[in-house]
Chain A
Amino acid sequence: MSKSNKKTIIVLLLIVVVIAMVPLFTLKGAEFGGSDDAGSQAISEITGTDYQPWFTPVLETWIGGKLPAEVESLMFSLQTGLGAGVLFFFLGRYVERNKWQKKIRDKEEETYDSLN
């Protein structure tokens, strides 16, 4: 990868971190959460009644209750981990492949040069 590309990537990632972290530091005391019942509030406000979902998530039916927050975060990290594993495994292979392909090319050029 060229140097300018590397620099671009670093700068872009820094911007991402800033955008993601600024609300956390500036909005002190904000909840940043309340995942599932929050959406129902908007619906309840419109319909004027307490909305009762007509179907519960299958996992919550199986375990007979709400999914514990800790387990939910485990599942989310599992999803991230699976994705990151696959993505960067193949990316790593590509990086290595580029390395040895470049080596072979250099060698071929060397032999070609020495023959002439």
Chain B
Amino acid sequence: MKLSEKRIITLVAAFALVFGVYPVANAMHIMEGYLPVQYCIVWGVVCLPFLVRGYFSIKKVVSQNRKSITLFAMVGAYIFIISSLKIPSVTGSCSHMTGTGLGAILFGPTAVSILGLIVLIFQAILLAHGGLTTLGANTFSMAIAGPLVSYGIYILCKKVKVNKRVGIFLAASIGDLFTYCVTSFQLAAAYPSDNGGITASFLKFLGVFAPTQIPLAIIEGILTVVIMIMLESYATSELIDIGYLKGEINNVKVK
């Protein structure tokens, strides 16, 4: 068998694995009590440095300019809205989005981790959604890994001079998708399959999460672009203060 043939077979096998599994689970946070204790602790500890850095970066932005706290609150509110909307998807189950891309683009990835943590605590306590024991794992996937990817993609798009709105769209939607890849990995690490280990498990969970999440990731990307257009038109001076925009835009004098 030629090497290229082998590659094709592997690809097809992977494809079948991903899409052959009927999606039974809803793509959401890891539920309360569904991660073994040691994993809860590990993920929680992994989150700490990011959260601490996030706290300091927020403090820095706010101390430099008190007005930017309004924008920060709006970014948090956006995560509140977006992560509360359960949307039907093509696989016949519902899921919700993360909403963390906007904050990552505006305030940097670690600042969002604090906002994400607040939303996750709110959902864990009042909505019995996600959980306090799985808070660390969920914070890592939704409030740290997702925003990091969003931020990276946004910067990359800026570097290669992709249209700004396309960049924002890609950043938000891929960050959203990546969140659920991380969730799949976290579940797979805790529940490796008997035959195939973590990889087989990972593909199974990914097969459950990814198809549901793709249309939602597109929606999240679009909504983030919409909010950004609004902010750029009305909160110009704030965006300049936090360093997102530079100088004059849209022929509006900024003072």
Contact = CB atoms under 8 A, between A and B. Distances in A.
Interface of A: 1-2, 5, 8-9, 12-13, 15-16, 19-24, 27, 30-36, 38-43, 45-48, 51, 53-60, 67, 72, 75-80, 82-87, 90-91, 94-95, 97-98, 105
A19 B86 CA distance: 13
7 contacts: A1-B234, A15-B222, A16-B222, A39-B28, A54-B37, A79-B123, A85-B77
Interface in B112-133: 122-129, 131-133
Interface stretch (B49-57, B150-158, B174-182, B225-233): B225-233
Contacts of B235: 91, 94
B191 A58 contact: no
Cβ-closest 10 pairs across A and B: A83-B80, A53-B33, A30-B92, A55-B33, A83-B81, A57-B128, A86-B77, A79-B84, A87-B77, A94-B234
A90 to B, nearest CB: 5
For chain A, what secondary structure do more than half of its interface residues adopt (helix, strand, loop), or is it mixed? helix
B24 interface: yes
A94 B187 CA distance: 43
B64 interface: no
A79 B121 CA distance: 12
B247 interface: no
B226 A72 contact: no
Contact of B26 (A1, A38, A86): A38
A72 to B, nearest CB: 6
Interface residues of B, number: 69
Nearest to B37: A54
Contacts of B28: 35, 39
B201 to A, nearest CB: 6
Nearest to B85: A80
B234 A53 contact: no
Contacts of B37: 54
A8 B226 CA distance: 8
A32 B225 contact: no
Contacts of B74: 86-87, 90-91
A9 B226 contact: yes
Contacts of B70: 90
Nearest to B78: A87
Nearest to B236: A98
A77 B131 CA distance: 19
A98 B128 contact: no
Given A16-B219, A46-B201, 14 more contacts: A5-B233, A15-B222, A20-B88, A27-B88, A30-B93, A33-B93, A39-B34, A54-B37, A55-B133, A57-B124, A57-B129, A80-B85, A86-B80, A95-B234
